[in-house]
Structure 1
Amino acid sequence: MPRSRQRLDLADLAEDLVWRDVRLTLGELESLPGARVIAGYAFTEILNNAIDHSSGYHVDVQVGIDGGVLWIEIADDGVGTLAHLRDSFELPDLFASIAELTKGKRTTMSEAHTGEGIFFTSKAVDTFELASNGLRWFVDNLRDDIGVGISEVVTGTTVRLAIALATERHLAEVFAEFTTNHEFARSRPVIELFEIGSEFVSRSEAKRLAVGLEEFDQVELDFDRVDMVGQGFVDELFRVWANEHPSTELIPVRMNPAVAFMVERGLPRR
């Protein structure tokens, strides 16, 4: 049962003031700095996204504790995160919007935002779900797993978060994993999310994947559950793009033997 449930007008809303009021209903957090810091960061980042990006009028905020787990749900009535990203970046479909969210530093308001909020929130909490425009992106950090599926949320965006009160995760450590000299310098896009299916063969697929990666010093390319890659995809990404962006190091990880063979075969010879 929710400890706090509110419908708020998005106009002139201040996310930190909302969190201050919500926090008063969650007395258990005061003696649990790990969960409290993560919850405060995640809540304010997601609510701020609704304020600045949704083009909606209202947001419904619910927070509760059940079985030693803090849960948060923030739902706006705007255009939907995935449709907004698709239209702003001229992406081919909504699945590509989900893929862009796994990169970090991708924002439609670069003058006011860094593009870090959803990226780090999805990695700081135990479970994260973003539902928008009929699709849902789910991240389970306890199982190191992700998923994409159909959602009943077709209007606006609904984000659901869960954090164990006894979590041993620390927000500073989450940032440190992707930071060099206090700069967001490392990314880990999930290859599987960039196309429907598990085969990546074309140069155009590689080009879509690589958009924005030059913003990072180091990028781990997660090939988990990718069955096959083609010569054109590998050459475009690891030779052509890498030669054009020598300051960004591409590191392929979690490859099956077939993918590893193609990637190693396509890497430039020294």
Structure 2
Amino acid sequence: MRKKQRGCIDVAQLITNALKKKPQVKASDIVKATGFSRAYVNRFFQQLKQEGKIVLLGNANTARYILADQKIILRTKRGIMTFRRMLRNINLSEDIVLDEIVKNTGIFAGISENVSRILSYAFTEMLNNAIEHSGSRSIEVFMEKSGNAVCFKVFDKGVGIFHSIMQKMKFRDQMEAINELLKGKLSTMPASHSGEGIFFTSRLADTLVIQSAKKKLIFDNTIKDTFIRDGADVKGTKVVFSIGLDSGRNTEDVFRQYAGNSFKFDKTEVRVKLYHDGVQYLSRSQARRIVSGLEKFKTIQLDFDNVETIGQGFADEIFRVWKARFPHINVVAVNTNQNIQFMINRAVPTQ
């Protein structure tokens, strides 16, 4: 195609006229119509944008310009249900990224207030973790509203969450790091973080998957269970969060469930089955691993769902020895079968 003379065409006017004929225009449309370079055409888009005459919505493949008319902006935003960005981890702020999603897409449009709050909390917490803990130079974020759900992904190529915890807390392996992470209040930067973000996010989601190295930690609140599975070898950390648009959860109830009316995080729950390590019954050493660090809480709920039996040493270590050290802490056993309850009753000192 033969290039047209630049001086003969008012590119800014061409863009404006095009937007009067159709609701949105891409830079590639004007490049094709004029034969000018993308860099040259973009100068006029930026000029019109700075003058407040047009607005850029979306990003990457979904980026499009529209007239700066509020009705047009709202209508166009509602059609953008996907956000994807590769972010440089330099002076990066999670709230600014969230604000960009809210302003430039329709993902948050029309969703209930409780789901909006959950999504905002979870996204900023997970992105902040990647920003401050991963050591990754770049972070990929993705969010999409599709069907009756919203999901987001945060993917960094840093040290990896399980490996980072293992190193900084001097644990033996990544499984020990995962089990400690599940308790809540674990932070490798206690001066600036409470360690509560993942714990509360895992309770607010329909599903939350945290994948790093060859381990995948899965929280599935649709069936009220938690899994640790082997997966593909992932460099860094990949977090995938999903919540239904009809979710009845809300942040206040979840915070109050584990923090009480004071909103001080003082309750946790531990799924005992995750400490099996392939053995038939749980021993005293495994009990010590479970209660390690739990003295920070006032109430501990031990969930024995899908646990067939425990050893006498396991029950004695938690319900007599450890309880004697921390008598002010309330330890509650739930989902116990007859065998487990028998062992617990034997261990509890008679009054």
TM-score range, shorter chain: over 0.9
User: 1 CA distance for matches of 2:307 and 2:278?
Assistant: 8
Instruction: State the AA in 2 paired with 1:42.
Output: A
User: 2 CA distance for matches of 1:41 and 1:12?
Assistant: 20
Question: 160, 181, 187: which is aligned to 2:268?
Answer: 187
Kindly state the Cα deviation for residue 69 of structure 1 after the two structures are TM-superposed: 0.5
Q: Is the radius of gyration larger for structure 1 or structure 2? A: 2
Instruction: State the AA in 1 paired with 2:275.
Output: F
Give the equivalent residue in structure 2 for 1:24: 103
Contact conserved, 2:216 with 2:229, CA < 8 A, in 1?
Answer: yes
Contact conserved, 2:81 with 2:107, CA < 8 A, in 1?
Answer: no
Instruction: State the AA in 2 paired with 1:96.
Output: E
The structure in which a higher percent of residues are helix is 2
Kindly state the Cα deviation for residue 189 of structure 1 after the two structures are TM-superposed: 1.4
User: 2 CA distance for matches of 1:37 and 1:200?
Assistant: 42
Question: 115, 134, 138: which is aligned to 1:54?
Answer: 134
* Pair 1:263–1:46, CA change in 2 (3 A): same
Instruction: State the AA in 1 paired with 2:99.
Output: R
User: 1 CA distance for matches of 2:153 and 2:293?
Assistant: 30
Q: Deviations over 1:67-101 (max 9, x none)?
A: 11101000000111111111222223212222112
How does 1:1-270 map onto structure 2 within 5 Å? 3-27=82-106, 29-31=108-110, 32-180=112-260, 181-197=262-278, 199-270=280-351
**SS of the residue 2:243 aligns to:** strand
User: 1 CA distance for matches of 2:138 and 2:122?
Assistant: 19
User: 1 CA distance for matches of 2:113 and 2:156?
Assistant: 28
User: 2 CA distance for matches of 1:194 and 1:97?
Assistant: 12
Contact conserved, 2:185 with 2:195, CA < 8 A, in 1?
Answer: yes
Q: Deviations over 1:159-204 (max 9, x none)?
A: 0000111221111111111012221111001112234236443322
Contact conserved, 2:82 with 2:107, CA < 8 A, in 1?
Answer: no
Deviates more, 1:91-100 or 1:209-218: 91-100
Instruction: State the AA in 2 paired with 1:214.
Output: E
User: 2 CA distance for matches of 1:250 and 1:86?
Assistant: 27
* Pair 1:39–1:203, CA change in 2 (3 A): same
Kindly state the Cα deviation for residue 65 of structure 1 after the two structures are TM-superposed: 1.3
* Pair 1:88–1:2, CA change in 2 (3 A): farther
Deviates more, 1:179-188 or 1:191-200: 191-200
Q: Deviations over 1:106-157 (max 9, x none)?
A: 1111111111000000000111100011110111111112211112142100
**SS of the residue 1:228 aligns to:** coil
Q: Which runs of 5+ in 2 are unaligned?
A: 1-79
Paired-residue identity, %: 34
User: 2 CA distance for matches of 1:171 and 1:101?
Assistant: 20
* Pair 1:225–1:197, CA change in 2 (3 A): farther
User: 2 CA distance for matches of 1:241 and 1:44?
Assistant: 37
Instruction: State the AA in 2 paired with 1:129.
Output: V
User: 2 CA distance for matches of 1:190 and 1:96?
Assistant: 14
TM-score by length of 1: 0.95
User: 2 CA distance for matches of 1:153 and 1:60?
Assistant: 18
**SS of the residue 1:147 aligns to:** strand
* Pair 1:249–1:198, CA change in 2 (3 A): farther
Give the equivalent residue in structure 1 for 2:12: none
User: 2 CA distance for matches of 1:77 and 1:237?
Assistant: 39
Q: Which runs of 5+ in 1 are unaligned?
A: none
**SS of the residue 1:156 aligns to:** strand
Kindly state the Cα deviation for residue 239 of structure 1 after the two structures are TM-superposed: 0.8
